[in-house]
Structure 1
Amino acid sequence: MEMTLSTQRPKSNALPMAIVAGLFFILGFATWLNGSLMPYLQQILQLTPFQASLILFSFYIAVTFSALPSATIIRKVGYKNGMALGMATMMVAGLLFIPAAKTQVFALFLFAQLVMGSGITLLQTAVNPYVVRLGPEESAAARISIMGILNKGAGVIAPIVFTALILSGFKEVSAPLTQIEIDQMANSLIFPYLGMSVFIGLLALAVKKSPLPELESEDEGESSQNKGHIKEALSHPNLALGVVALFFYVAVEVIAGDTIGTFALSLGVENYSIMTSYTMMCMVIGYILGIALIPRFISQQAALMVSAILGLILSAGIVFGSNDSYMIANVILAPFGVAKIPDTLLMIAFLGLANAIVWPAVFPLALSGMGKLTSTGSALLVMGISGGAFGPLLWGGMSSATSLGMQGGYLVMLPCYAFILFYAVKGHKMKSWS
């Protein structure tokens, strides 16, 4: 299959890019709510760090079983309808949070997260190829970086909105909650998630009726040939290793973005629920640098290598740094009157800078030369998002296994960045397994 834009496409790609940009914002908002939701549920349901990590696991594990079915759905209904179906699934997931909040049953929250992850996977599988195809392949990383700014910009906003709507009346993190406070916090979830569900549902209808051009396929095999497509796609080492690289990348991205609030809660930091915003702000800065530098001053491969090395350095600093040190905050935050934050937390936030370029660089490198296998390759790459399920799970397990507690849990990031460095240096160049 060769994917091309429909012959009815407009002369300018500005409107399609604007629509796709809006979808990336929605993806970011729904995804990075997890950074606030995780410590929130840990507090009201009295969860252990490992149990809290299941909130992220249930969200991201959905990718494992829904990515390839998503590719099949897209082949049958088209990319634009696939986007609408993905958002409809997200709407249903948002509605599921209402009975979960009412009953305060942990399993219902996990199921709602599972459905939300499935909807986001379908939307991701449909929308990412648009960004790659709406322009030259060599500048794809820059276009994905633009989308990433919106995605991670939504990640900056989402924790702030969550805190304002749900946690504004609960500032004290050291005192245990009473049952009345727990009930109030749980009930405060209902209207925000109801509003989000209605908005996403309306957006799904708008996308279906929009002039977004279809990505057409020629001679695409039927779903019965899926196994053949997968085998053929995985015969390309740059794709297969790219899937692994994205698996490890999403693992560290989710650890940095979604566990920082839980770690801050354990350190007694006020407004722990907005800590994800710090990581996302650093990612936005990284995306801006990517747009400015790639490919004019630095190649996608070189940027990926720098990102991996920075990730290794910061990971070591987090594990072996002092939670009582505020040196970085005194230099960077104090002049702006921002509350002091331990250096270890700020280094977790700085991982956003290291992570920003990884997805934009790996995705086009992995799809390079895939041709008719692009949709299958895209689905396999999106499956790498399942790393977001296992990364926090390993972090939670390591937190319980080491004497350093949650701080020691960040050891799991070191091998992840090491593999990303391998892909940047050698893996993306491999054209055969021999």
Structure 2
Amino acid sequence: MSTITSTAPVSMTGEKKSNLLPMLMIGALFFIFGFVTWANSTLIPFLKLACGLESDLQAFLVTFASYMAYFFLALPSSWLLKKMGFKNGIVVGLLILALGSLIFLPAADSRAFGMFLTGLFVQGAALSLLQTASNPYISIIGPIESAAKRISIMGLCNKFAGMIVPIVMGTLFLKNSEAIEAKINNAATTVAEREALLNEVVGRVNTPYIVLAILFAAFALVVKLSKLPEINVDAEEPVDPTAAVKTTKTSIFQFPHLFLGAFCIFVYVAAEVMAGDIIGTYGKELGISADIAKYFTTLTLGGMMAGYAIGIVTIPKYITQQAALRICAILGIIFTIGAFLTSGYTSVIFVALLGLANSLMWPAIFPLGIKDLGRFTKTGSAIMVMGIAGGAIWPLLYGFLKDEAGVNFQLAFFISILPCYLYILYFAVKGHKIRK
């Protein structure tokens, strides 16, 4: 297997030529990440209906199970990658992803919400391994200064998949959902009729998730047979660019910017999930029909794709990734205030615009967090990926404030998401520079 060292400077022209295969393969992976992850936006209302859940807080356990896996599995993923390498790690991750998809079949047969959550957790574990492998791979396959540009290209693949999901899954899973929910809740509906309706709804997951399992396994075989080059970072010495003389780092805990970056990923993913997965529920709270609200995630992801396109054109030619992160954080603050102060479709549009604000955050935060880690890159990447657990916590916080504490849903959204953008602004201005 050929090896790419992460220290070699590569021009963008040479990068496009020599790294075309890795870019295509990782781009396909990011498409898969997007499809699986953003399916949560459809699964939240679908499982609330199919499993007879009583509140949005219960339904938000969908995102909790999916994203919490990153917290527990990211560091073990780093250990596996050290043993197997990036390529074999990707293969194993895809096979685990296929297994997680198959768990949906017995879950649907028994209509057991807990088993659905198990399948989501297994899928999250697989994505943890895949993310831990692919993000540093795409970050260090070329110059770190242009990493945000490459990740933006990957982001287009990711969010294009995310835009498709609400249309495909929403059509398959939530067809006539309002009418079915009305029938289920109708006092005149008998127990047998209610059970038949619920079984018909939950059975809609079988064919899509069988197809997904087959596709994931097939792509694992493609990756295994491909000539995807390995990246060697283990021999590279970490550096401290702020030191007057060259110093040797001996511990991952000697990189404060890494941990500040991991927490930045935590609050960023929290904000992204609130804007993407929760927007449908948010729209329903505003009195918008569920048959319309199920497509709102596509609006958010459209904003993210627009932001990625801007990042590809402007970074690093016109602005640095640090400047892009500052701009995005400020936009996030403005759009959050706009969503809080307005109502109806206007408020929904402001939430959707958070997709634009969020677009260049991951592409900028991740390379800034793992910069200068050298042989600690795989472990550092795992710590960054652990931050994805923010997507598990924040929807539950929002649901608790709204359903249990009695806070107005718009105020609950505002006080949940605004601190995220304030911290991201801090990291963009100062946090990423801290080395001692």
TM-score norm. by structure 1 comes to 0.88
Once the two structures are TM-superposed, the CA of residue 102 in structure 1 deviates from its matched residue by 1.3
Q: Which residue of 2 aligns with 1:319?
A: 340
Question: What is the distance in 2 between the residues matched to 1:418 and 1:119?
Answer: 31
Q: 3-state DSSP class of the match of 1:168?
A: coil
Q: Which residue of 1 aligns with 2:225?
A: 209
Question: What is the distance in 2 between the residues matched to 1:173 and 1:410?
Answer: 32
1:107 aligns with 2:123: no
Question: What is the distance in 2 between the residues matched to 1:405 and 1:46?
Answer: 22
Query: What one-letter code is carried by the residue in structure 2 that aligns with 1:422?
Result: Y
Q: 3-state DSSP class of the match of 1:175?
A: helix
Question: What is the distance in 2 between the residues matched to 1:161 and 1:231?
Answer: 49
Question: What is the distance in 2 between the residues matched to 1:75 and 1:136?
Answer: 22
Aligned length in residues: 405
Where do residues 5-24 of structure 1 align in structure 2 (5 Å cutoff)? 12-24=18-30
Q: 3-state DSSP class of the match of 1:57?
A: helix
State the percentage of identical aligned residues. 42
Change (3 A) 1:219 1:5: closer
Q: Which residue of 2 aligns with 1:424?
A: 428
Query: What one-letter code is carried by the residue in structure 2 that aligns with 1:12?
Result: S
Q: Which residue of 1 aligns with 2:206?
A: 190
**Are 2:180 and 2:197, in contact at CA under 8 Å, matched by a contact in 1?**
no
**Most deviating of 208-217 and 193-202:** 208-217
Change (3 A) 1:111 1:406: farther
Once the two structures are TM-superposed, the CA of residue 3 in structure 1 deviates from its matched residue by 7.5
Unaligned runs of at least 5 residues, structure 2: 9-14, 185-193, 238-248
Q: 3-state DSSP class of the match of 2:408?
A: coil
Q: Which residue of 2 aligns with 1:296?
A: 317
1:237 aligns with 2:256: yes
**Are 1:58 and 1:111, in contact at CA under 8 Å, matched by a contact in 2?**
yes
**Are 1:249 and 1:358, in contact at CA under 8 Å, matched by a contact in 2?**
yes
**Are 1:95 and 1:197, in contact at CA under 8 Å, matched by a contact in 2?**
yes
Selected match of 1:352 from 341, 344, 355: 355
Question: What is the distance in 2 between the residues matched to 1:250 and 1:188?
Answer: 29
Q: Deviations over 1:337-379 (max 9, x none)?
A: xxxxx11211111110000010001111111111111111111
Question: What is the distance in 1 between the residues matched to 2:350 and 2:277?
Answer: 14
Once the two structures are TM-superposed, the CA of residue 381 in structure 1 deviates from its matched residue by 0.6
Question: What is the distance in 2 between the residues matched to 1:288 and 1:10?
Answer: 17
Question: What is the distance in 2 between the residues matched to 1:86 and 1:416?
Answer: 30
Q: Which residue of 1 aligns with 2:93?
A: 86
Change (3 A) 1:429 1:218: closer
Where do residues 129-140 of structure 1 align in structure 2 (5 Å cutoff)? 129-140=136-147
Q: Deviations over 1:244-293 (max 9, x none)?
A: 10100000101111111222334342233222111111100010011111
Where do residues 7-406 of structure 1 align in structure 2 (5 Å cutoff)? 12-47=18-53, 48-170=55-177, 172=179, 175-177=182-184, 178-218=194-234, 232-266=251-285, 267-269=287-289, 270-323=291-344, 342-400=345-403, 401-405=405-409
Query: What one-letter code is carried by the residue in structure 2 that aligns with 1:181?
Result: L
Q: Which residue of 2 aligns with 1:338?
A: none
Once the two structures are TM-superposed, the CA of residue 6 in structure 1 deviates from its matched residue by 12
Q: 3-state DSSP class of the match of 1:78?
A: helix
Q: Which residue of 2 aligns with 1:332?
A: none
Q: 3-state DSSP class of the match of 2:229?
A: coil
Query: What one-letter code is carried by the residue in structure 1 that aligns with 2:370?
Result: L
Change (3 A) 1:81 1:39: same
**Are 2:46 and 2:173, in contact at CA under 8 Å, matched by a contact in 1?**
no
Unaligned runs of at least 5 residues, structure 1: 222-229, 324-341
TM-score norm. by structure 2 comes to 0.88
Change (3 A) 1:63 1:218: closer
**Are 1:26 and 1:154, in contact at CA under 8 Å, matched by a contact in 2?**
yes
Once the two structures are TM-superposed, the CA of residue 41 in structure 1 deviates from its matched residue by 1.1
Question: What is the distance in 1 between the residues matched to 2:340 and 2:181?
Answer: 24
**Are 1:260 and 1:348, in contact at CA under 8 Å, matched by a contact in 2?**
yes
Measured on the aligned residues, the alpha-carbon RMSD in Å equals: 2.4
Once the two structures are TM-superposed, the CA of residue 219 in structure 1 deviates from its matched residue by 5.3
Once the two structures are TM-superposed, the CA of residue 110 in structure 1 deviates from its matched residue by 0.9
